[in-house]
Structure 1
Amino acid sequence: MLIKGFRIKAIFLISFLFILWMLAFGRLFYLQIIQSRNIGRKSKAEQMRYLETEARRGEILDRNGKVLATDLKLFTLYAEKALITDIKETASKLAEFGLGSATNLEILLQNESELIRVTRGVSDSIVRELNLEGVYAVREWFRYYLSGRVGRTVIGSLNWERKGMSGIEREYNEFLSGSNGWAHYLEVPMYSGIKLLKRYEEDYKDPVPGKDIYLTIDLDIQYIMANELHKLKEDTHADQVFGLCVDVKTGEILAMVNIPEYIPDEGWRSNGCIAWQFEPGSIFKLIPAFAWIKAGYSLTDTVVDSTGSTDFGGKVFKDPHPHHAYSFRDALIYSSNSAFVNIGKRVGKRELYRCARFFGIGCNTGVDLPVEYSGNLPILERMRDIRLATVSFGQGVNTTPLQIVMAYQAIANDGVLLRPRVMKEIRNKDKRIARSKTEVTRKVGNPKIMNTLLEIFYDTVEEGTGTLASLTMLPVAGKTGTAWKYSDGGYKKGEYVSSFVGMLPYPDPEVVIGIFVDNPKNSYYSSVIVCPAFRKVAQMIVLLKSYRKRFL
């Protein structure tokens, strides 16, 4: 009986174990064979991340093909909020790697989005050391500016979405940006990274890279002007300094310098060459001078006597230094304000206003850069005589540096005012798809008047207020300007704007160079502080290999 009972128990136990094994085997067979594909898909689905694949942004290059802005492949960090157990600790560890402040990162990680972009442009070495739950790294494009600060205001910058928000990056964003693709990303063990997984053809769309923009800017000239104007700002302790170099025959901007240059991390700064509005002072005298010659008045007419003073509009205007009686020619060479009050009186309000408009004063130049200001040219016929008097020597009227430079470009180009431009051509790989052309804004006056003005401006550099701008290697024509600075509703004592615009070589100029100094300290006369800087810039430009044959 005992043996029979033991056998029954053994058979029962063996049967039970066999059934368990069969159930386990069946379950395993079901999972490994029948449901293997579904389980694999589910497992991958839990690891998959759907992200947009950014297009490579087009390059920005100077006129000679030197790269100014390009895209590099670096890492972007993403955080999946659901997998982060301690937001504060994660933010603290990210901050230890210099990826931002712990406070800002903590606020960012509290975003309602499921997948949060933490930061961009992270190097490979940081990603290798980073091992945080819920934080992933994806290789993406990062914008890199090879020229550093030089020309950065013109080149511009991108926002968080990699869209242009200033400069060329903004103006030609449509061409530079290309079109994004999309893809699924799979989490892999390699230093917490995310790797692209293309399972099926329909699972991704390749991005289309942007087009390249070639500028009219010459990086060599840009460097020369940037270095010299930086020294000028330091020497004069000025608030800011601007410089422009424009091709007379084409309107191409060869250099556009802002000191200090705009750097996104240091706060917003507009492009002062097209947005800074100032009262130009004596460099504006080319307008009433043009109106005088156009009206048929003689160059030898006496416009102010030896007292150096005149009374107009209920106010006496007097030159700061004694001199002999000035003819019109002398008044322009030696920049007599009292003489130009008389010149404005003879020309009249209506004609002075019309001539200023001819030269583009108070109007946008049409340059292909964002946020250009037009300045302010008062309608003189509606103003009192005192306004006509001050506008005649460049006070009471607002312009921008580019407006003034283009006015002198018209003088140097036989009276043909051109539209300034920064974009030279757009290319898709090696294929040119668009090229800018020389555009005439208007014919300002006949070449005879312009040649007369150019000759007087040459004499200004040779014997007048611009002698420190003269070059031994080639002749220069130009005009100095020193103006009282208008700000906060009035003119402040001791604040000035100093400037010089030069055209070279005389008598058939190829380029116009303008330098503008905002609020220099101590010495402020343009003839003393700006002319020497112009001479240094012009000398170095002339000696560049690519320009030596044109000028010498």
Structure 2
Amino acid sequence: MIDGKQQRTQSEFALRYKVALLAFLLLFGVLAFRAIELAIASPLPKSVLEQAQKVRRGVIFDARGHELAISRDTVSVGIKPLEARLQLEGLDILARVTGTPKAELVQKIKTSDKFFYLKRKMPLEEAAPLRKLDLAGLVLQNEPDRYYPNQKLASQIIGFTGLDGEGLSGIEFSQNQTLSHLRTDSQDFIGQNVHLTINSYVQHQLEKTLAAGLEDSMSKHAMGVIIESQTGKILAMSSQPDFDPNQSNKFPEENWKNLPISFQYEPGSTFKIFTMAALLRENLLNANQKYNCPGYFDYKGRRVSCTREHGIQDFTDVMKNSCNFGVITASWQLPVLKLYENLKAFGIGTLSEIQLPGEARGYLASPKDWDYYLKMSIPIGHGVSVTPLQLALAANAIANDGKLMPPMIIDKVSDAQGRVIERFVPQEKYRVASVDNAQQIRRTLREVVKSGTGAGADLGLKEFDVCGKTGTSIKSTRKGYDAKKYQASFVGFFPCEKPEITIMLMFDEPRGEYHQGATVAAPAFRRVLREIIPAIHVGEVSTVKPLPTPQYQSVASAPRPAPGDKNTMPDFRGFSKKELLFQVLSKFPGDHQVNGAGYVVQQSPEPGAKINAPYSFNFKLGFPDE
């Protein structure tokens, strides 16, 4: 009997032991499964799991070393909801500090399975109370944030970054790799610094002037560029309205755009500068020739009007009065191909390749597409489109004695210790006008300001001469020209004798009492120039290193025979077939052969050769490589 009782006791003990062990194993399994579930269902972001410090973006400086964009420490608040459900007490402080309604916070914790951010990049002082909380599932992650201490200043140039710290526009985008690049020999988690050519004082004055002009003229947009003439450095560039990159999402996306490099428009009479340059380059501008303006230019039923009947003028008066008749009449001496190639040499219809995203090319029709209307309209700035930067750079070549300079927006790149890694040097692209021709154009533009349409730009100071040109154009839309919408502009140089800066201003759709370049843009030019004269710094010419001249297509010019000379072969290269036949048949009647289509590319006899009647010429026509 005793043996039987002992046997039952041992069996009961073994059973209880097995049950307890099983219960323990089940509880352990549940807890292990729960831990695995939490780890899988509420994973932390990769940056938190790696516990690695992010590379802080480098600083963006202006030309004088002022900070335009910096990185600062912030705290991002995250929640692992499956853990947070275990402890819903104490959410009041979390909700208040993050600005989240408590009911919404509780609901999100109960319904979410994966990690989520409650608030990104809070200032350290705002997130400080959360450090004292002991809440399950609360994650406080340190991460750098981008800050723009000058708010709107140069915002469209600088751009901004997204929540992940990647550049989304402007220099932040184009130089994203540089700003976030970590040198292999560096012990700091800090990217490289970018130093711009922008002068903050000049930039501020430009923005202030554009904002005032925008309001006064009730324009849709106002934009401008200021260039250091001898180097091509961009001292200021802006469009209004602008935005604050610290809170870019609170502004329309339209305000983010850098309009001086992306806005395409028909420049109007400012373009006459380049028509004059082409005439001078081809030796077709006669200082003694008179132009009797009836108030319009008419050809085959197509009419281009002037503002009034200007009467008899020389070409300086033509430019002073911005006379369409005079400019078109003079330009019709130019073969289409030669005018086209002169304009292309100034960069019209070509990207400037500035180190900013979103640049537009503009538009200049191929010479084979020019009809008589384009031959009338392009010389006066219609039927062609440019960006404000493109026009400013082309005009700057006249300020710089004929040398075309590529735009510079970045001066140098340095590391976290301030050591210069890369320095950019101004480079002459090529020459588009002789020194004499550039100076003659500037003398003409000085008369435009002294007593012509550009009088509103005159400083009224004897020691400071200004030269420039106004422009007023009817706005072109997808449906054609809108006679009720205008674009007013002015481009000019200071000082006129040896320019240090080039300023280009444009107002889109001015709706005030006045809408002309003379009444809207020229006075704005004067205002901004008065403010920035004390800050102008002339770059050392010795730092400008010429580049090899690109082989852009150009028709070589032979010495032109004197008027009435019928014994010297003229240079007909670049003439269209209609122009050729008119010139040849009216002056050199005879047996001539014309082969091909397009423009004269070869001729026999050669230009300058001696010829005698009866005349017999051979011409080959074709199209230039584009």
Same fold, TM-score > 0.5, yes or no: yes
Checking the alignment, whether the CA contact within 8 Å between 1:246 and 1:512 is kept in structure 2 is yes
- Structure 1 residue 87: deviation in Å? 13
1:442 equivalent to 2:442? Answer no
Aligned to 1:532: 523
Match of 2:212 among 218, 231, 234: 231
TM alignment of 1:448-527, pairs within 5 A: 448-471=436-459, 472=461, 473-522=463-512, 523-527=514-518
TM-score w.r.t. the length of structure 1 is 0.80
Aligned to 2:164: 161
- Structure 1 residue 296: deviation in Å? 1.3
1:257 equivalent to 2:238? Answer yes
Task: Describe the shift of the 1:463–1:136 C-alpha distance in structure 2 as closer, same or farther (beyond 3 A).
Answer: same
Find the residue that maps to 1:74 and give its secondary structure: strand
Aligned to 1:175: 178
- Cα distance in 2, alignment partners of residues 282 and 146 from structure 1: 40
Report the AA paired with residue 214 of structure 1. Answer: H
- Structure 1 residue 99: deviation in Å? 5.3
TM alignment of 1:187-198, pairs within 5 A: none
- Structure 1 residue 102: deviation in Å? 9.7
Report the AA paired with residue 496 of structure 2. Answer: Y
TM alignment of 1:289-304, pairs within 5 A: 289-302=276-289, 304=291
Find the residue that maps to 2:465 and give its secondary structure: coil
Task: Describe the shift of the 1:377–1:425 C-alpha distance in structure 2 as closer, same or farther (beyond 3 A).
Answer: same
Question: Considering only aligned residues, what root-mean-square deviation do their CA atoms show, in Å?
Answer: 3.2
Aligned to 1:215: 196
- Cα distance in 2, alignment partners of residues 151 and 107 from structure 1: 43
Checking the alignment, whether the CA contact within 8 Å between 1:419 and 1:440 is kept in structure 2 is yes
Q: Which has the higher strand share?
A: 1
Aligned to 2:607: none
1:349 equivalent to 2:336? Answer yes
Task: Describe the shift of the 1:109–1:468 C-alpha distance in structure 2 as closer, same or farther (beyond 3 A).
Answer: farther
Task: Describe the shift of the 1:478–1:129 C-alpha distance in structure 2 as closer, same or farther (beyond 3 A).
Answer: same
Match of 1:323 among 273, 298, 310: 310
Aligned to 1:373: 360
Checking the alignment, whether the CA contact within 8 Å between 1:299 and 1:329 is kept in structure 2 is no
Aligned to 1:81: 81
Find the residue that maps to 1:141 and give its secondary structure: strand
Task: Describe the shift of the 1:213–1:493 C-alpha distance in structure 2 as closer, same or farther (beyond 3 A).
Answer: same
Checking the alignment, whether the CA contact within 8 Å between 1:333 and 1:457 is kept in structure 2 is yes
Aligned to 1:240: 221
What 5-or-longer segments of structure 1 have no aligned partner? 1-41, 182-204
Find the residue that maps to 1:479 and give its secondary structure: strand
- Structure 1 residue 341: deviation in Å? 2.0
- Cα distance in 2, alignment partners of residues 280 and 90 from structure 1: 65
- Cα distance in 2, alignment partners of residues 435 and 276 from structure 1: 30
1:147 equivalent to 2:150? Answer yes
1:416 equivalent to 2:406? Answer no
Q: Choose 375-384 or 460-469, whichever is displaced more.
A: 375-384
Checking the alignment, whether the CA contact within 8 Å between 1:416 and 1:444 is kept in structure 2 is yes
Find the residue that maps to 2:284 and give its secondary structure: coil
- Cα distance in 1, alignment partners of residues 227 and 343 from structure 2: 20
Task: Describe the shift of the 1:300–1:155 C-alpha distance in structure 2 as closer, same or farther (beyond 3 A).
Answer: same
- Structure 1 residue 75: deviation in Å? 1.3
Checking the alignment, whether the CA contact within 8 Å between 1:476 and 1:506 is kept in structure 2 is yes
- Structure 1 residue 515: deviation in Å? 0.7
Task: Describe the shift of the 1:267–1:508 C-alpha distance in structure 2 as closer, same or farther (beyond 3 A).
Answer: same
- Structure 1 residue 113: deviation in Å? 8.4
- Structure 1 residue 445: deviation in Å? 2.0
- Structure 1 residue 129: deviation in Å? 4.0
- Structure 1 residue 447: deviation in Å? 1.1
Checking the alignment, whether the CA contact within 8 Å between 1:52 and 1:180 is kept in structure 2 is no
Report the AA paired with residue 411 of structure 1. Answer: I
Task: Give the paired residue count.
Answer: 482
- Cα distance in 1, alignment partners of residues 158 and 329 from structure 2: 44
* Identity percentage of aligned residues: 26
Find the residue that maps to 1:342 and give its secondary structure: helix
- Cα distance in 2, alignment partners of residues 528 and 439 from structure 1: 36
Match of 1:388 among 375, 379, 387: 375
Checking the alignment, whether the CA contact within 8 Å between 2:98 and 2:118 is kept in structure 1 is no
Match of 1:541 among 532, 535, 543: 532
Report the AA paired with residue 180 of structure 2. Answer: S
Aligned to 2:348: 361
Checking the alignment, whether the CA contact within 8 Å between 2:226 and 2:502 is kept in structure 1 is yes
- Cα distance in 1, alignment partners of residues 406 and 100 from structure 2: 44
What whole-Å deviation, never above 9, does each CA across 1:152-186 have from its counterpart, x for those lacking one? Answer: 100111122211111111111111113499xxxxx
- Structure 1 residue 207: deviation in Å? 6.0
Checking the alignment, whether the CA contact within 8 Å between 1:53 and 1:207 is kept in structure 2 is no
Report the AA paired with residue 144 of structure 1. Answer: Y
- Cα distance in 2, alignment partners of residues 334 and 206 from structure 1: 65
Aligned to 2:596: none
Checking the alignment, whether the CA contact within 8 Å between 2:85 and 2:110 is kept in structure 1 is no
Checking the alignment, whether the CA contact within 8 Å between 2:97 and 2:127 is kept in structure 1 is no
Checking the alignment, whether the CA contact within 8 Å between 1:302 and 1:325 is kept in structure 2 is no
Report the AA paired with residue 520 of structure 2. Answer: I
Checking the alignment, whether the CA contact within 8 Å between 1:248 and 1:512 is kept in structure 2 is yes
Find the residue that maps to 1:485 and give its secondary structure: strand
What whole-Å deviation, never above 9, does each CA across 1:120-150 have from its counterpart, x for those lacking one? Answer: 3312343234456533222221111011101
Find the residue that maps to 2:365 and give its secondary structure: coil
- Cα distance in 1, alignment partners of residues 261 and 87 from structure 2: 46
- Cα distance in 2, alignment partners of residues 120 and 85 from structure 1: 21
What whole-Å deviation, never above 9, does each CA across 1:508-538 have from its counterpart, x for those lacking one? Answer: 0011011111111021011111111111111
What whole-Å deviation, never above 9, does each CA across 1:351-385 have from its counterpart, x for those lacking one? Answer: 11111101000000111111111111111332211
- Structure 1 residue 261: deviation in Å? 1.6
Find the residue that maps to 1:57 and give its secondary structure: coil
